Amino acid sequence: MKALKTFLTLLIILSITALIIWYRTPELYESKDFSKKVDEPHKLNRTHEYQLPSKGGYYLKISDTEQSKIYLVNVSAKFGKYDRNLWQYVEKGDTCVIISGVIRNDYDEDYYIPLSAVLYNSEGEKTGMVVQPERPDRFTVVHVKSGEIAIFKLYVLCNECDAVDYEVFIPFKPSKIPPP
């Protein structure tokens, strides 16, 4: 039974990856120079129709120093708007980048995985701030059983930003118990 479950999980992951590659193949040949992606200064404040590059196929780092065993299957990002006021940072209608993805836990145990993100502007500088609807922290938490996948969503506040790229990371070590 476990072998069948593993096979079906692998089949789903391969199907999703194949669809993303098929849909996004033209992006593989685009220039990686961010300044070329920003045509005119008035286009810097993106709207719902502009989508950032899709990514995936690698293990996430823990705070840029340690390699984790959390595999980023795929992730995509698009510009959107907050639908309500949040904490002291966000007012309804503020611009954000909505990052949605799938991760897989390759550790031997079940873990609560903290996830966060950073945006990069056309000059390669970090911009934006994660502001999640469900918690006031700058991250979200996803519980993932060993060998299984889970879906996540991050909201990055970026009023007046010219984000052209992003990076998902793990801000601190995964844990067997959820963070407070």
> Is residue 148 situated within a structural domain?
yes
> Is residue 178 situated within a structural domain?
no
CATH number of the domain enclosing 144: 2.60.40
> Is residue 20 situated within a structural domain?
no
Q: Count CB atoms within 10 A of the CB of residue 118.
A: 17
Indicate the number of domains in the chain.
Answer: 1
Pull the structure tokens for residue 72. Answer: 């980023």
What's the pTM? 0.72
Non-local (6+) Cβ contacts of 95 within 8 A are 45, 46, 79, 80, 81, 157, 158, 159, 160, 161
> Is residue 46 situated within a structural domain?
no
* Tens digits of pLDDT across the chain (180 residues): 777 777 666 556 655 655 444 444 333 333 334 344 333 333 444 444 567 899 999 999 998 789 999 999 999 999 999 999 988 889 999 999 999 999 999 999 999 999 999 999 988 999 989 998 888 889 999 999 999 999 999 999 997 778 999 999 999 999 999 987
Range of the domain at 126: 52-169
> Is residue 35 situated within a structural domain?
no
3-state secondary structure of 56: coil
Please state the separation of Cα 179 from the chain's center in Å: 20
Q: Count CB atoms within 10 A of the CB of residue 111.
A: 22
> Is residue 84 situated within a structural domain?
yes
